[in-house]
Structure 1
Amino acid sequence: MDELINTFQIEEAKKLIKKAKKPVIVRAQDYEFNRKIMEYGNFDVLLFPSFQKFRRSLRFIDSGLDLTSLNSAFKNKISIGINLKELRRLSLEKRALMIEGLIKNIILCRKAKVNIIPLAYKDEKDAFSLLLSLGISTINLNKSIGNLFNTAN
């Protein structure tokens, strides 16, 4: 069974990662937490969407990631997980804002060559279609769907 770590404090998260059995999934929080935890490494997946209030303006979307933190994720072999079950439960307005942030994260992950893993999907074909339309490459999807963390419920 996968270990899910959901805390706002970086030191507590590091202790829980040391105690946890593999594979370890850490829920994304704010930008500072995500950057520090990806530099630390020693876990497998950083799980999105995070339900923090991110800054948003016409020219800037704070999605919780940037290119430098994703470069450290690539170096530490950390994947970015997208929980489709939580995305489905949101209201339409919140879902649109989350998808907007996910699209930005997908673009950044493609630049940094970080693997993206869909989690908790009902139908493999629907998950493949949705993520393909959001901008994930087919090579990444073929590698992740069906092979890694197949938690279809």
Structure 2
Amino acid sequence: MAITLENVGIAVQDIEAAIAFFTDLGLTVVGRDTVSGEWADTAVGLDGNHAKIALLQTPDGHGRLELFEYINPAAIETSPTLPNEIGMHRVAFSVDDIDEALEIAARHGCYPLRGVANYRDVYKLTYVRGPSGIIVMLAEDLSTS
């Protein structure tokens, strides 16, 4: 059986703020829609499912994020995840300039959880708390510098 990763879906409080954050980092919006109806209820498993969605893509065309903001049922607030909690908790991006990426994140009020680490002089990396509490890992490959 062949398998391909299609996208990573992330529920957000404010889809416009999340789109602004990720497009400023370099992703592009490749589609937007509002979804509802029986097919959406069946696919997602929620009655009355109604959401705004946006599909974003990395410049290389391989990575995709699907952001969704629920209109109905109401979104459920949760505490921001911690790096050691079970389940999906972060999305990771390679960047060619981590300092520039952090400047962009800061313009959106998003900052590293602690700081920028150097992993064996191979990567500079950090976890940033992004929009809607999403943990975003940014990593600069030092071997190509």
The structure whose Rg is larger is 2
TM-score (ref. length: structure 2): 0.31
Which of the pair has the greater relative contact order for Cα pairs under 8 Å at 6+ separation? 2
Structure 1 or 2: more strand by fraction = 2
